Chains A and B, each alone.
Chain A
Amino acid sequence: MYKIAKENLTALFRLIAGAQELYLPVKTADQVNFGAWSEDAEVDLDTLKSVKSPKDAFFPQSENLYTCRKDGKKISIEPEALKEQNFVIFGMKACDVRGVEVLDKVFLADPVDTFYAARRDHGTIVSMACHEPEESCFCKVFGIDCAEPAADVATWMVADQLYWKPLTEKGEALTKIVESVLEAADNADEKSVEEEKAAIRGIVEKLPYSNLSLGGWNGEVLTEKFDSALWEELYKPCLACGTCTFVCPTCQCYDIKDYDTGHGVQRYRCWDSCMYSDFTMMAHGNNRTSQMQRFRQRFMHKLVYFPANNDGMYSCVGCGRCVEKCPAALNIVKVIKAFEKQGGEKA
């Protein structure tokens, strides 16, 4: 394990950015989102959650697939180049790292999504333990330990020191690049990191959502949950906006669209939301015609369909962004609790 004083972080970022692209939580117009590092970017490592999850780094909100150009009678088709530049994403939290694992299941399974795979190959994830988890967090429910994040390099911010621990080959390679600004950590340091971990876990125990029970949600309960009358009640306040999907670290549905540039067509894909009325619209129409069905789709996908196809892995990571951001204060926790309550009443 290594360490670096908080005030020297800029030197660390400068070194990384000298060798690779660097993305980290940056504050713009009062909101923290992942963005490219620059000398005058306002880096914010204290805010626990970025508004948007960092999934953009691997699965951007919109990306070009190819461009057609018409030049007189000549038509050319230019496929978009795959990511070739190495990059580092710094400061991802444990839940967001699990989010990437969920995306891997989708995009790296056969047929492999080449755009995504290229980004995964070239990206190095530096995660950061959650110093002060918040009341909307429920990662523990999904077996995520926010005190000990996975990733290529794990880091802990304890007082004024950042502790740096490479976990994979990629992580070792990155450590080599920044070696000159890192110091080796001694036993006392190891101890303070252990204390920090214990403190974080202690807090997680106290969080209101940490005892949420996922009993009754798995790949086997499809028809039972699908046919439940509860959805009719639960969806009512839903405004059909896409906030929950767009801030979610695991939502992976996208739409492919063409844009008329006047001199050709640009085909791009962009995130889609199951909350939108034209989601999965086909020539014959739409197979989910009511908001109740669209609302149900989101939660069934996360808690039933996804585990059914991925060895029981839920596609929710408990980051709590939807809990914080939904305009109508709806969220996955309320859905889980409502079903739990109903189950209790039946029994």
Chain B
Amino acid sequence: MQELIKRAKELLEDGTVARVLGWKAGDLPYNPEPAYFDSTESLADFVYNGFCGANLSKYLIEASKLEGKTLVCLKPCDTYSFNQLLKEHRIDRDKAYVIGVGCKGKLDIERIRKMGIKGIEQISGAEMEDAADTLTISTIYGERSCKFADAMLERCHVCKGKEHQVYDELIGESKETKDADRFAEVARIEAMTPEEKFAFFQKELSKCIRCNACRNVCPACSCRKCVFDSNKFDSAQKANVDSFEEKMFHIIRAFHVAGRCTDCGECSRVCPQGIPLHLFNRKFIKDIDEFYGEYQAGMDVNAQSPLTDFTFGDVEPGIVGERG
């Protein structure tokens, strides 16, 4: 982290960048927030640790409108989103100075809480320098510890890899954290009977409070006006009046980002109700891979997105029924 701050200071001082987009230390050990730093003094609050899960790519849409370059810290997975936004002309490459930061897996405070750890005062082991694979958590109710891997976000267990897809320079080491199959859960649901599938999603989606956090955090959801906000249609619904609405919202949202979703996992990270929203996106990704060949959004800026492309021999929609 010190190296990162040092470099940021240099770039600010020599005028290469006008501001730094990173994370600011929070008032609890686990809540750093995305923040802009425009002076070397303000960098005193800069932090980069295991709780900096937020994907900063989306903030670049606004930052691209500002005067001068913005230094942005991107983790390997965030760079996919950056590329995707570039491809959609939502951000300006010339306005960003990308520092690819190392990542050894990001932590999920909800998972830590679910282990019954509460009254958290301090967490050690979450810093980038820490090599330990255990977190030591001191709480009002005594000292607790847990495995780093057990406290990791779901997305880190299916990490796409430690290579940055785009960067101006790299700082810090990354660690391989993948220990699960990305599509295992999707396949498990696919194998269910229609009744079980329906019951599963009904149960998960009934928790939805339509707060739109999943949409607003999503780097692929960058429409200026979302159809669910537009007062021109009666699809604009603020609250969950009927169970159908949540399904419609989540299916349409997932569909709209199909072929553009990099599977960054932000939607599932931010959902206050812990709905595994990535299961929708991954279903589309899995289908796209199966039907139209493997495709990873954000990997190659020049690749044709599967939904704006076709071949004469594409499968017919009837395959869904035939597959059984």
Contacts and interface: CB of A to CB of B under 8 A. Distances in A.
- In-complex A–B contact (CB below 8 Å): yes
Interface of A: 28-31, 33, 48, 51-52, 61-62, 132-136, 203, 206-208, 236-237, 239-243, 245-247, 255, 257-260, 268, 270-273, 276-278, 281, 323-325, 327-330, 333-334, 337
Nearest to A60: B239
16 contacts: A29-B207, A52-B209, A135-B118, A203-B140, A206-B140, A240-B216, A242-B210, A243-B213, A243-B270, A247-B209, A247-B211, A255-B238, A259-B241, A278-B236, A323-B28, A327-B216
Nearest to A247: B272
A260 B109 CA distance: 41
A272 B241 CA distance: 13
Given A30-B274, A328-B34, A334 B231 contact: no
Nearest to A279: B238
Contacts of B270: 241, 243, 327
Contacts of B54: 327-329
B136 to A, nearest CB: 16
Nearest to A269: B239
Contacts, number: 135
B124 interface: no
Contact of B216 (A241, A246, A323): A241
**Chain B contact residues (Cβ within 8 angstroms of A): what range?**
35 or more
Nearest to B214: A241
Nearest to B230: A278
A236 B28 contact: no
A333 B31 CA distance: 12
A273 B229 CA distance: 12
A208 B121 contact: yes
Nearest to B202: A29
B211 A31 contact: no
B272 A325 contact: yes
A227 to B, nearest CB: 22
B302 to A, nearest CB: 30
Describe B's contact surface by its main secondary structure: loop
B238 to A, nearest CB: 5
Describe A's contact surface by its main secondary structure: loop
Given A29-B207, A208-B28, A334-B26, A281 B272 contact: no
A31 B59 CA distance: 30
A271 B26 CA distance: 29
Given A134-B120, A259-B237, A323-B31, 13 more contacts: A29-B206, A33-B273, A133-B119, A237-B35, A246-B211, A247-B211, A270-B237, A270-B239, A270-B241, A273-B211, A276-B229, A327-B54, A333-B27
A329 B166 CA distance: 27
Nearest to A64: B241
Which of B59, B269, B273: most chain A Cβ within 10 A? B273
A216 B234 CA distance: 43
Contact of A242 (B31, B212, B236): B212
Interface in B35-61: 35-36, 54, 59
Contacts of A62: 239-241
Interface string B55-91: 0000100000000000000000000000000000000
Contacts of B231: 278, 281
A304 B153 CA distance: 38
A241 B140 contact: no
B217 A239 contact: yes
Nearest to A255: B238
Contacts of A61: 209, 239-240
List the 10 shortest-distance A-B pairs measured between CB atoms, nearest first. A270-B239, A327-B270, A241-B213, A329-B31, A239-B216, A62-B239, A329-B33, A241-B216, A325-B272, A237-B34
